[in-house]
């Protein structure tokens, strides 16, 4: 375990828990905003696939850059802690893995919503 930078208000000793918490904090609002704007489950799946491909290729830094770009595109603020995660390549990989796990749960909700329409 490593200590994180507490002067930035990010105080915990376990990076895995941090990545999970931050992913949980940003995943639902992010994906909901994407889904509202594209109004297409296929488009959401396409983005999910792009994140998954980058993650499986070990390109988690690029996946994080894409995430920041998408936040700009949807004109939403991202959690400040995401900047801290982006500074550590190991933590970025953990975060993107957790982010992908979170979208799996959300996809079920979106599919149910689409089915009920």
94 contacts 19 by C-beta, under 8 angstroms: yes
DSSP assignment of 33-97 equals: HHHHHH--HHHHHHHHHHHHHHHHTT-HHHHHHHHHHHHHHTT-PPPTHHHHHHT-HHHHHHHHH
Q: Which of 73, 90, 82 is nearest to 14 (CA)?
A: 90
What would the pLDDT profile of 56-114 be if each residue is shown by its tens digit? 999 999 999 999 999 999 999 988 888 888 888 888 999 999 999 999 989 988 888 88
Domain boundaries, the chain: 13-116
Neighbours of 110 (CB within 10 A): 16
């Amino acid at each position: 375990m490593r200590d994180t930078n507490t002067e930035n208000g990010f105080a915990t000793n376990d990076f895995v828990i941090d990545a999970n918490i931050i992913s949980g904090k940003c995943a639902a609002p992010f994906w909901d905003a994407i889904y509202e704007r594209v109004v297409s489950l296929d488009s959401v799946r396409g983005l999910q696939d792009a994140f998954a491909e980058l993650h499986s290729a070990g390109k988690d830094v690029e996946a994080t850059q894409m995430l920041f770009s998408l936040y700009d595109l949807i004109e939403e603020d991202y959690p400040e802690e995401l900047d801290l995660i982006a500074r550590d390549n190991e933590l970025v990989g953990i975060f993107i893995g957790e982010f992908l796990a979170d979208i799996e749960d959300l996809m079920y909700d979106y599919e149910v919503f689409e089915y009920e329409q």
